[in-house]
Amino acid sequence: MRLDWRSLFGRHDLTEQTIIFGIGNPGSKYLKTRHNAGLWCIDKLATAHSIVIAKNTRLNILGEGSIGQSPVVLVKPKTFVNDSGRAITSLLSRYRTNASRFIVIHDEMALPTGKLRIRPDGSHAGHNGVKSIIGALGSQEFTRIKIGVGRPQGQDGDIDHVLGVPSQEEYASISGSVRAATEAIETILTEGIETAMNKFN
């Protein structure tokens, strides 16, 4: 009898699933910092679509479910931002997928606070988390959702800025872009990335 290899892996054969990965730092210390905007979006998606993110692996916390008719995996890495590639490598092995099935959400200093950009591919543009992911995937061809957190003001450097907690006004603005990012992801999954770019960029 011929053995169907898909049956060996059950739900781990996720070639039809989209892996949505939020870049951020683990732990309560970083929870409210600008660098964790990607994780805020993952939490909002989970709430909106009743996906429980509770499956612990060595490098990630996972939630499997659907957004509309599209099966997805929501991912909160346990690695720090600059080491995001290790978490991605673990997902590649676990789900036997490729770069094109990833949507990566991250903070972006090059965008004004509260702005949103969707890109189908491209360089890391100085974001160390994205740089690490490109190295792990061996490809730049994965979707990015960029959430603007603005440039540092005054004496703050880049690191202090992204690891800082936004003001109440900034937080409201970033939260608005996080809501837009969740809608953009829903649009990507149902209507395609071109439609999402035209609507949200």
Please give the full DSSP string across 36-104, using - where no structure is assigned. Answer: GHHHHHHHHHHHHTT----EE-SSEEEEEEEETTEEEEEEEESS-GGGHHHHHHHHHHHHT--GGGEEE
Residue with tokens 């490598």: 89
Separation CA 101–CA 165 (nearest Å): 31
| DSSP 8-state symbol, 35 | G
Buried/exposed 53-85: b ≥16 CB within 10 Å, e otherwise: beeeeebbbbbbbebeeeebbbbbbbbbbebbb
- Check 35, 106, 127, 161 and give the catalytic one: 35
CA angle, residues 93, 97, 99, in degrees to nearest 5: 110
Query: Is 49 tagged catalytic?
Result: no
Q: Which residues are catalytic?
A: 35
